[in-house]
Amino acid sequence: MRFAEVDVRRLPTTDGAHDSAPAAAGRAHHLLRDADDIGQYDGLILAAEGKGEALVQTLGAFSGSLTNKVGAVITPAAGTDRRTVLWSVLGAMADRGMILVPAPFDMEDAASDETTRKAGKRVAEVIGWVTHARSHHHH
């Protein structure tokens, strides 16, 4: 895939307040206003903080279909915590019918910029494959 459009969004805090956390690398990350907004994307790469509960809740609150959309999870967690976070969020994505593109569970540099770029590239490639295959659908 030559080009992919990326839209970085943040979840609201659990109390509904606007998160004032600074954006990474000076880029503005707009707030995801409603869980149903995730349905507009061909793929999702979710960045899990903590144990990933907020992402699991957001996916659970989504009322549309994510079937055949591509999904991945990234997290800075390491060791057993990493495995737990990844399975928790990937499980919620699988329950929604998503095509999963998991990052390796045992990565030591899981939170590096390069690792994150590689995950994004891989998800974009899979989205391209799915889009291409669906364009050749025969009746």
Q: What is the pLDDT of residue 25?
A: 53
Bridge partners (DSSP) of residue 81 are none
Q: How confident is the model at residue 35 (pLDDT cuts 50, 70, 90)?
A: confident
Averaged pLDDT for residues 80-84? 90
Percent of the chain with pLDDT over 90: 37
Q: Is the pLDDT of residue 92 over 90?
A: yes
Q: What is the pLDDT of residue 21?
A: 47
Q: What is the pTM of this model?
A: 0.81
Lowest mean pLDDT among 15-24, 47-56, 99-108, 121-130: 15-24
Q: How confident is the model at residue 2 (pLDDT cuts 50, 70, 90)?
A: low
Spell out where 36-107 has E strands.
43-47, 70-74, 99-100
Which of 139, 138, 133 has its CA nearest to residue 70? 133
Dihedral sign, CA of 66, 75, 58, 88? positive
The more confident residue out of 103 and 47 is: 47
The percent helix, strand, coil of the chain (3-state, each to 5) is 40, 10, 45
Residues 6+ apart with CB under 8 A from 70: 42, 43, 44, 98, 99, 101, 123, 126, 127, 130
